[in-house]
Homo-oligomer: A and B are copies of this chain.
Amino acid sequence: MSERKFNSTNTLNEFFLEERCTLNKVLKIIGKRWVSEVLVLIKQDVSRFSNLKECLDGISDNVLSSVLNELVKSKLIGKEIFNQVPLKVEYHITPSGLALTNVLHQLCDWGKEHIAYETRMKPTFARKDGKD
């Protein structure tokens, strides 16, 4: 993580919005790539780092790790460490996280109803891993 510059307009604007409405704080948390997916997978009992990684084809270790840390910090998931070898760690959704997934579900339903299907530009070549 690089340092934040606290006096940039960028940061001031972020503060302005978060102060203005909680909605902006919420969107700041869940608006980042992978976050909602990870949350939903954990809700569905995909509870280990390696399993999450399998499900989220293309995510890198470091990104998954930081997403998990953010979710723990926001108390949307809990982390349980088992002292055994090889190391085992499990993540579980919290009541707060569960409540959030319900709203996210509605957001998704809105999308299904209102976002027009459009022929999206597709990547020209296949993924490195051959899928897609």
Give the interface of A toward B (CB within 8 A).
6-7, 9, 11-18, 20-27, 30-34, 36-37, 40, 57-59, 74-75, 96, 99-100, 103-104, 106-108, 110-116, 120-125, 127-128, 132
Query: A27 touches which one: B12, B36, B58 (CB < 8 A)?
Result: B36
Query: A114 touches which one: B20, B99, B107, B113 (CB < 8 A)?
Result: B99
Query: A31 touches which one: B27, B96, B123 (CB < 8 A)?
Result: B27
* B32 and A31 within 8 A (CB): yes
* B99 and A6 within 8 A (CB): no
* A111 and B25 within 8 A (CB): yes
Given A24-B37, A31-B27, A124-B6, CB of A13 within 8 Å of CB of B103: no
Query: A30 touches which one: B31, B59, B120 (CB < 8 A)?
Result: B31
Q: Can you spell out 22 A-B residue pairs with CB atoms less than 8 angstroms apart?
A: A6-B123, A7-B123, A7-B124, A9-B128, A11-B123, A12-B58, A15-B122, A15-B132, A17-B37, A18-B120, A20-B37, A21-B37, A22-B108, A22-B111, A23-B36, A23-B40, A23-B111, A27-B107, A30-B31, A31-B32, A75-B114, A99-B114
